Amino acid sequence: MEILKSVLEDVIKRNPNEPEFHQAVTEVLESLEPVAKAHPEWVEAGIFDRIVEPERQIVFRVSWVDDAGKVRVNRGYRVQFNSAIGPYKGGIRLHPSVNFSIMKFLGFEQVFKNALTGLPIGGAKGGSDFDPKGKSDGEVMRFCQSFMTELAKHIGPDTDVPAGDIGTGAREIGYMFGQYKRLANEYTGVLTGKGLDWGGSLARTEATGYGLCYFMDAYLKDKGETFQGKTVVVSGSGNVAIFATEKATELGAKVVALSDSNGYIYDPEGIDLAAVKEIKLVKRGRIKEYLEYRPNATYTEGCSGIWKIKCDIALPCATQNEIDVNSAKTLIANGVMAVGEGANMPSTIDAINAFLDAGILFGPAKAANAGGVATSALEMSQNSMRYSWSFEEVDAKLKGIMENIYKNASKAAKDYGHEGNLVVGANIAGCEKVARSMYAHGVAY
């Protein structure tokens, strides 16, 4: 890195102790060097210095009362990273690991991902260190209401439209939406991932997992391959993992493993998805309960072992940095041909480099998992029109968007001399639109 080296050094100096944010910025800036070379006017206008600094960062106290009557305190966040191409948009993560570094890495990635969808949405992320696991519905509701009481001051259908993420599913979005509606006294599409009876979009629940498979399918087909007959390992067993498993299976693959933060299951005959849906979506249980449905499957404690399972295609759909360089090398040694990132930043930089060096078809998160936010933007469009499209209409639009993202990312990689490298291609294709818009808006933005 030459031109952008000082930008990265500044980020590291100004944001100490934020390793995930440093990692995300490093990965993007390394790809953007050729863009900086091609656009000295953007360098002159400080576009790259500004693009790594959030427009606004909000942190707030969230206090709520648990079932025993005890007052509990959590911390809430919203990082409104960039609004150059549209209102801020990005999910809300509820997980004990949430901190500013994780919020900023996710918000930063979201800017480029949202631009890649071709839809008019800026980038943001929010969340809290609240852990919904093990809490009663009443406790989750009181937390969500308290969280939204503060967040409501900073969002709006034309300002910032949050969505779900880890720990934030339909139940949490419902409680947050109810509280926003009460406070604002208006019925607007201020959140996406809403229930179908009250403004949600068909196919939003499925969108990230389906979109991941549409993206990888386009990629595989471009290389003369398909999902048909392939053995697939999917990590996680949440929203993204479940619907990635569903679509990969529909496309002819056999998914043999899934996990949660305690361990993983291996079912060589192919995952029984109805059982997983019942465990995870109905009972809110643990993945090891799968053995009660399929006694011939195995369960292993710990997460990283899942990458030792031999497979043709790996779809990491749990969380950041779940594939380190050792797991990447094991996957490669076992003959993996494609890796599609459903989670955000699931591979470390060294792991990505190992995949690229080995010629693996690598679909980076900001391109491969953009189907969720793209469909959220379609939910916003439907809310604005006070109209809803059929499942098939939304699904067809999602498929078209994912195929376009693949085409645009691979074209950008080729145009800038990195043919076949979708990490570079996605970063460049996502950046150009945002940079052009920031440039047009002037410096005092």
List the catalytic residues: 125
By CB under 6 A, residue 261 contacts ligand NDP: yes
In 3D, which of 218, 251, 214 has the Cα closest to residue 232?
251
Nearest 5°: the CA angle 136, 138, 140 is 70
Nearer to ligand NDP, 344 or 410 (CB): 344
- Mark out the alpha helices in 299-421 (DSSP H runs): 325-333, 349-357, 365-368, 371-385, 391-415
By CB under 6 A, residue 319 contacts ligand NDP: yes
CA distance 412 to 427: 9
Q: CB 443 → ligand NDP: shortest distance, Å?
A: 32
Site for ligand NDP in 276-305 (CB under 6 A): 303
Question: Who contacts 142 (Cβ-Cβ below 8 Å, separation ≥6)?
Answer: 64, 65
User: Can you tell me which of 101, 128, 344, 383 binds ligand NDP, judged by CB under 6 A?
Assistant: 344
By CB under 6 A, residue 176 contacts ligand NDP: no
Nearer to ligand NDP, 204 or 433 (CB): 204
The H or E element spanning position 58 is strand 56-65
User: Can you tell me which of 86, 189, 372, 430 binds ligand NDP, judged by CB under 6 A?
Assistant: 372
Torsion of CA 318, 322, 326, 327, to 10 degrees: 0
Nearer to ligand NDP, 164 or 363 (CB): 164
* Alpha-carbon dihedral sign for residues 9, 14, 17, 21: negative
User: Can you tell me which of 18, 139, 160, 165 binds ligand NDP, judged by CB under 6 A?
Assistant: 165
Q: Which stretch binds ligand NDP (CB under 6 A): 148-156, 256-264, 381-389, 425-433?
A: 256-264
User: Can you tell me which of 80, 369, 382, 383 binds ligand NDP, judged by CB under 6 A?
Assistant: 369
User: Can you tell me which of 240, 265, 352, 394 binds ligand NDP, judged by CB under 6 A?
Assistant: 240
Q: Tell me what percent of the chain is helix, strand and coil, each rounded to the nearest 5.
A: 50, 15, 35
Q: Which stretch binds ligand NDP (CB under 6 A): 56-64, 236-244, 305-313, 381-389?
A: 236-244
By CB under 6 A, residue 323 contacts ligand NDP: no
By CB under 6 A, residue 236 contacts ligand NDP: yes
CA distance 172 to 2: 45
By CB under 6 A, residue 114 contacts ligand NDP: no
What is the DSSP pairing of strand 254-259 with strand 263-266?
A: antiparallel
Q: How many residues does the chain have?
A: 445
Q: How far from chain centre, in Å, is Cα 271?
A: 23
Compose the 388-427 pattern: x for residues touching ligand NDP by CB under 6 A, - for all others. ----------------------------------------
Q: Which stretch binds ligand NDP (CB under 6 A): 55-63, 268-276, 316-324, 353-361?
A: 316-324
By CB under 6 A, residue 238 contacts ligand NDP: yes
Compute and round to an integer the Cα radius of gyration of the chain.
21
The contact set with ligand NDP (CB under 6 A) reads 164-167, 208, 236-241, 260-262, 303, 317-319, 342-344, 369, 372
